[in-house]
Amino acid sequence: MKTLILSSSLSPRSRSYLLCRATEERLLREAGCEIDFVDLREVELAPHHRPRPQDMDTLKERITAADNYILGMGVHCYSVNDSLKLVLDNCCEGMVGKFFGILCAGGGQRSYLSTMHLTQICMNEWRMIQLPRVVYALWKDFEGDTIPEGELSLRLDEFCRDFHSIGGKLLR
Ligand SMILES: Cc1cc2nc3c(=O)[nH]c(=O)nc-3n(C[C@H](O)[C@H](O)[C@H](O)COP(=O)(O)O)c2cc1C
């Protein structure tokens, strides 16, 4: 199964990027898992009514080629970050009907339901099916730029186990 991991934060010290990399590491240990990792910090983006960079067409092709998706987001104003919204609005036709999971970094515990906006977009616009398990992490869950052994690491293990198992069953 070919999984595209989209790390959508543009922050140089992104926490959701670390969640995405940790997930990639775990999924690569599973049998038959191929990963395409997109770091949006390396992709030129533009809003819908502005000239479209070639990078966005390339990203759209990579998205279309994948069987399923792991979307990494940072919470901005209780919602998805702006760069992820640009991708959702402009590059995601190829996601229709496919399976996805969400990894999220927030600044505070009370924003954990912000991922529901991503759920709404993926389900209502792209008719996607979500893994019923979100990994939500705060700065305090990390030690520098690493994920320590303990709760967050275990939640990532569970996320990957379920994503791989359900994702495999949903392949057409
Ligand atoms: C513009 C902006 C808005 C934010 N809004 C929220 C918010 O509503 N709730 C929250 O918990 N954290 C908020 N934060 C904090 C980020 O969610 C936090 O820094 C997180 O680590 C971002 O993900 P990233 O590190 O992958 O970029 C905001 C940060 C920025 C830059």
The answer to whether residues 167 and 33 touch, using CB atoms and an 8 Å cutoff, is no
Q: Which of 76, 116, 139 to mutate to test the pocket of ligand 1 (most atoms within 8 A of CB)?
A: 76
pLDDT at 31: 84
3-state secondary structure at position 71: strand
Q: What is the pLDDT of residues 3-49, one digit of tens each?
A: 999 999 999 999 999 999 999 999 999 888 999 999 999 999 999 99
Q: What is the pLDDT of residues 52-93, one digit of tens each?
A: 999 999 999 999 999 999 999 999 999 999 999 999 999 999
Ligand 1 pocket, residue 7 CB under 6 Å: no
- Domains in the chain, CATH or no CATH each: 2-169 (3.40.50.360)
Which residue's CA is the closest to the ligand 1 atom numbered 29?
76
3-class state of residue 166 by DSSP: helix
Distance CA 122, CA 25 (A): 25
Which tens digits make up the pLDDT trace of 128-154?
Answer: 999 999 999 999 999 999 999 999 999
- Cβ neighbour number for residue 148 with a 10 Å cutoff: 11
- Evaluate: CB of 8 within 6 angstroms of ligand 1: no
